[in-house]
Structure 1
């Protein structure tokens, strides 16, 4: 049984990650709200990643940072605070968690870190200036730390397309919008949280022990194919 720390495991992709890991691993969840379940393998810490001190956890084999934001506005309507807030939750929170738990990770069993980017970093999508800028920071962090920690800890990121979570509810709020999103993707679908959780499970496993510093696009062909 491995020790997995999930930041933001109460909702969306984080919740799917937490559920997938609970049956076989000890999971420590850190989020403002508690997950809607109890389990003997689950320990929850209720706190704000940006405002509060993180708890001491001695033994860690994997760290998964899930918090994110979808702040879609034209550049003229984006304030400096919008950029600052998106950078704080997406990048600074991840840095804070990595700095806190890196000593424990270095002593872990095949230790690894998984962060989250977005397809908007590479694709170039209107109204995504703030979130794409923040997530580009995540990709730079993964590349840099992948090299710096190469002999100790693996680190990778997943760059998903739109995923059916509460965070994306305004974009997928009715059947017509969902159909339009399906048609926009060459492979005629978009992501469900369980699919992303499956990639996380692979990246923290021994099967991925040769992989670090990589960004994995889960895009249903949106970035990869021109149709």
Structure 2
């Protein structure tokens, strides 16, 4: 049995698309998500294993390690859209966002560091265009994802030459967490037009890059933060 690629946040638009792309290319995958009905349905369709775990809970990684010992890579496709004006932001908002996006990613990596080192593995993390471009009301999520970018380059240096670490930075992608913003057609169209490529992202867009980065196709790529954002970070 080959070592598996772990996909955290496997029921999201990017995570589920990555799972499908990796499986269709003959890779062995293991899905992790908190919603049992959703993750079991995806796992059944793809013919792969899964663990029900919530990354906000303590010792979540032990549940995953009980199911999977040896891995080839981690894709931490977990994210949030925490938008508030600063006057309404609390310390708890920052703590929860950092836990979800940064601290739990660190726990997942620490839990499998030795396996990744032994198997010359790869880690793919996720940031956001808002970590580099300033957007109103994005103080919480932009701060957390900027920390993820710092983690990416730090671990890429620390883990070289045995483990590669890269980061994908999408712009707004059609997904469950973006649905409250996108259900208003006028707002959705306005956001799409703010991108030089004049459309919103799809899960498959970021998943295609994540697949490249987590597999041996990118064996000479590490420490990179790569935008999949319709040109928004550079051209608009």
Q: Same-fold call, TM > 0.5?
A: yes
Query: Contact between 2:13 and 2:202, CA under 8 Å: does it hold in 1?
Result: no
SS in 1 for 2:182: coil
- How many correspondences in the alignment? 225
Pairing partner for 1:126 from 131, 136, 142: 136
Shift of 1:195: 1.0
- Structure 1 position 179 matched with structure 2 position 193: no
Matched, 1:82 2:93: yes
SS of aligned partner of 1:224: helix
1:143-179 deviation line (CA, Å, top 9, x unaligned): 1000001111000000100000011001111321221
For structure 1, list consecutive stretches of 5 or more residues without a partner in the other structure.
none
Contact map agreement 1:27 1:41 (CA 8 A) in 2 = no
Give the 5 Å matches for 1:145-184.
145-184=155-194
* 1:33 counterpart = 2:35: yes
Which position in structure 2 is the counterpart of 1:9? 10
Q: d(CA) in 1 for partners of 2:112 and 2:3? A: 15
**Larger relative helix fraction:** 2
The 1-side partners of 2:53 and 2:226 are apart by 29
What is the rounded CA distance, in whole Å, between the counterparts of 2:12 and 2:130 in structure 1? 22
2:165·2:222 contact (CA, 8 Å) conserved in 1? Answer: yes
Q: 1:39: how far off?
A: 4.5
- For residues 14-73 of structure 1, the C-alpha deviation after alignment (integer angstroms, 9 at most, x for no partner) is 111112222312211111113233047411111222323423222211100011110101
Give the CA RMSD over aligned residues: 1.4
What TM-score do you get using the length of structure 1 for normalisation? 0.94
Give the direction of change, closer, same or farther, for the CA distance of 1:4–1:82 in structure 2 (3 Å limit). same
Could you list the runs of 4 or more consecutive aligned residues of structure 1 that deviate by over 6 angstroms after TM superposition?
none
TM-score, with length taken from structure 2: 0.91
Q: Are the aligned partners of 2:20 and 2:46 in contact in 1 as well (CA < 8 Å)?
A: no
Distance 1:181 1:85, change over 3 A: same
